[in-house]
A and B are shown apart, each in its own frame.
Chain A
Amino acid sequence: MRRWSLTFAVVLSIAGVALQAARGAVLVNGAGATFPYPIYSKWFDEFHKRNPDVQINYQSIGSGGGIRQVTDGTVDFGASDGPMTDEQLAATKVPILHLPTVLGAVVPTFNLAGIEALRFTPEALAGIFLGKITRWDDAVLAEANPGVKLPGQAIVPVHRSDGSGTTYVFTDYLTKVSPEWSSSVGKGTAVNWPVGIGGKGNEGVTGLVKQTPNTIGYVELVYAVQNKLPVGAVKNRGGRFVQASLDSITAAAASAASNMPPDFRVSITDAAAADAYPIASFTWLLVPTRIKDAEKGRAMKEFLAWMLADGQKIAPGLQYAPLPEAVIGLERQALERISVGTT
């Protein structure tokens, strides 16, 4: 008997919680990219504190999963580190709006005994990952690093083995700076790497780089900063060697704002500005332009407006570069395109 009453009590309390949720709170579900997950969960948490009746759930299942789920309509919004392709956009039932949220960067990291700082030209990075530059004392690397005693060892390139936005940004950059990369490998969340070994996730790449001498890999800036990895500077289009930093990333974004396409699907790798870091990218929320559920739609728009204002101030604390002012202005206008309710 006692067991029954216990069960009954548990069922009742679960029902009570569910009922409360159903009556009071608006529940918005999203899924997608893993790279912005720390800032997104912080945002949703902060927004919930300010608006206790809105609860936004986010599952970091990967950009590909985010695109699939928002296309199928199984989530209220998606998130991706790479913009959707034209074919993907054509497949959606409701037109999808890309809204940039923050910026990230991909940095080269390496493991060379006694060397803490290195400079890479676009030719060097493309050559290494194409397998054309195979030794650390190659002339291309030596020329960019005067005064550094590069070892006469074989280079071991390390890349991501899992599909990822990080790979997308890195290969997008290589596609722009190297015609050979563009024709033989191309860009994508997973590509057919000509050389190198693969590690799963940022932690997998970092593990391989740290453990294996003479390696070079690429990871997200956030991850490199948190783990104090040696980070190489990269020569930008203006000819300057730039270290990735929040300022140099936002500079790259600002240079893109002047000719931003109306759908925000823009690549800012190899940006033109003098102090821009060249391997940077927006990350996007994918929001349907028609949201039938009025409450959800209003909550979503409120959140987006807050994200563009107060939310941006939280970003630098978590090592994400905030959006430049010009882009924020364009996005505010774009929010008008989201229609809420059945109309």
Chain B
Amino acid sequence: MSRTPASPIAHVGGRPVVLLRPSRATPAVPRPQPPRPVTREAAVQRAPSRRLAPRWRMADTAFRLTALAFALSVLAITGTIAVELFVRSAPARRAFGWSFLWTGVWDPVFSKFGALPFIYGTLATTAIALAIATPLGLGAAICLAELMPRRLGDGLTFLLELLVAVPSVVYGLVGVFVLVPLVRSVGAPIERLLGGLPLFAGPVYGIGLLTAGVLLAVMIVPFIIAVGREVLLAVPQAQRDGALALGATRWETVRQVVLPYARSGILGATFLALARALGETMAVTMVIGNRPDIVASLFAPAHTMAAVLANEFAEAASDVHLAALAEIGLVLFGITLAVNGVARLLILGMRGAERARA
């Protein structure tokens, strides 16, 4: 974190949002502090000088080592997951090699396993979810941050945070009882009209790719709204005032000043949502139809990587079956890693561009 509190503008972007909320202004009158052996100010002032009393030096070292251990535990956990999945999937890698990634058959009886239908299902549902959730979430975030009175926005954001906390099996139930019949009744006329196109080919069961994608969109939209709103609120008021003073309308201000300013933060919010959509299991398996097929139609049942793990792991008896499931886990891990990496690069690139502009 930057040590120059004078320019909060410098680190608008990724996630410094909370720090920059205008409402967090320091109170005018400092509260009385209880007496302490060494005041915090004194400790902070002394820290860079590196000439501490022995007692403090030890505490400092202990603190640093503990913090380092905590930080390394993140690496250890990620590493353990990767290594464990890699080791467990060894029999499958020996049996199928790289072809595992582009084989479309999943047959536990004859021990033939390929991950392609699951990769396709995961990517397709995630794409549908993002295509719906990003514009929706962004629009709602703009409304909450820019157009609504602050108090109302805070209240609605509280509701949004509640939505984030709803367990995914509950979303699944809502999907089964509300979304599935809805997709069936709306999908049937679409299929009659456009069924000739592969994208809308029937039959419309109500469950399938589209239903799973829409349900995922409903699940991730609160993320995008909540984070997006914080990012927009972090845009300095001076930027808006400047635009308005130049005669820009509300809409022009948002589109040409606020959104470009908050771009990398909004991208970050979207990728956070993307990560959740990739890994979502329970709600998806309840509405997707769990069929490892690659069909172009939005109405066709499909399967995802997370869903097949949840479905088959408990009863997988043969070693190759277990190993194939572990390899699916490995592939999912790899895809998540790649997506996050790309996100990081994009955000870095944007920040670089911003800095160059400024």
Contacts and interface: CB of A to CB of B under 8 A. Distances in A.
Pairing of A with B: yes
18 contacts: A64-B315, A64-B317, A161-B285, A161-B290, A162-B312, A163-B311, A163-B317, A164-B315, A188-B108, A188-B109, A189-B315, A192-B105, A192-B108, A198-B291, A198-B301, A200-B311, A211-B180, A211-B181
Interface string A194-233: 0011111000100110011000000000000000000000
A88 interface: yes
A154 B205 CA distance: 11
A192 B106 CA distance: 6
Contacts of B316: 64, 163, 190
Interface in B60-109: 105-109
Interface string A295-339: 000000000000000000000000000000000000000000000
Interface in B286-320: 286, 289-291, 301, 303, 307, 310-312, 314-317
Contacts of B286: 200, 204, 207
Interface in B178-234: 180-181, 184, 203, 205-207
B108 A191 contact: yes
Contacts of A208: 207
B314 A163 contact: yes
Interface residues of B, number: 32
Contacts of A61: 314
A198 B317 contact: no
A162 B311 contact: yes
Given A161-B311, A208-B207, 5 more contacts: A61-B314, A163-B315, A189-B315, A193-B291, A211-B180
B307 to A, nearest CB: 8
A200 B316 CA distance: 15
Q: Which of B109, B285, B303 has the most CB of A within 10 A?
A: B109
Contact of B291 (A62, A154, A189, A197): A197
A311 to B, nearest CB: 26
Contacts of B315: 62-65, 162-164, 189-190
A210 to B, nearest CB: 10
A85 B289 CA distance: 30
A187 interface: yes
Contacts of B303: 161, 198
B289 A207 contact: no
Contact of A68 (B106, B289, B312, B317): B317
A192 B286 CA distance: 19
Contacts of A288: none
Interface of B: 105-110, 112, 176-177, 180-181, 184, 203, 205-207, 285-286, 289-291, 301, 303, 307, 310-312, 314-317, 321
A140 interface: no
A35 B323 CA distance: 25
A187 B285 CA distance: 23
A105 interface: no
Nearest to B105: A192
Nearest to A159: B290
A128 B307 CA distance: 25
A212 B299 CA distance: 14
Contacts of A88: 317
Contacts of B107: 191-192
In the A-B complex, the 10 residue pairs with the closest CB atoms: A163-B315, A198-B290, A161-B290, A62-B314, A192-B107, A64-B315, A186-B109, A197-B289, A64-B317, A162-B311
A304 B109 CA distance: 33
A156 interface: yes
A72 to B, nearest CB: 13
Contacts of B310: 162, 200
B297 to A, nearest CB: 13
A109 to B, nearest CB: 17
Interface string A240-263: 000000000000000000000000
A67 interface: yes
A117 B317 CA distance: 36
A27 interface: no
Interface in A142-168: 154, 156, 161-164
Contact of B110 (A65, A186, A196, A204): A186
A65 B176 contact: no
Contact of B206 (A154, A193, A211): A211
A199 B110 CA distance: 22
B358 to A, nearest CB: 52
B314 A162 contact: yes
Contact of B176 (A163, A188, A207): A207
A212 B108 contact: no
A64 B289 contact: no
A163 B290 contact: no
A180 to B, nearest CB: 14
Nearest to A171: B109
B314 A190 contact: no
A185 B180 CA distance: 29
B290 A185 contact: no
Nearest to A210: B176
B31 to A, nearest CB: 28
A191 B106 CA distance: 8
Nearest to A201: B311
Nearest to B315: A163
Contacts of A154: 203
Given A192-B109, A198-B291, A212-B205, A65 B314 contact: yes
Interface string A49-76: 0000000000001111101100000000
Nearest to A164: B315
A172 to B, nearest CB: 11
Q: Which of A62, A154, A161, A207 has the largest count of B CB atoms less than 10 A from its CB?
A: A161
A15 to B, nearest CB: 30
A161 B321 CA distance: 15
Contacts of B207: 197, 208, 212
A197 B205 contact: yes
A251 B206 CA distance: 41
Contacts of B181: 211
A200 B108 contact: no
A154 B106 CA distance: 25
B311 A197 contact: no
A92 to B, nearest CB: 13
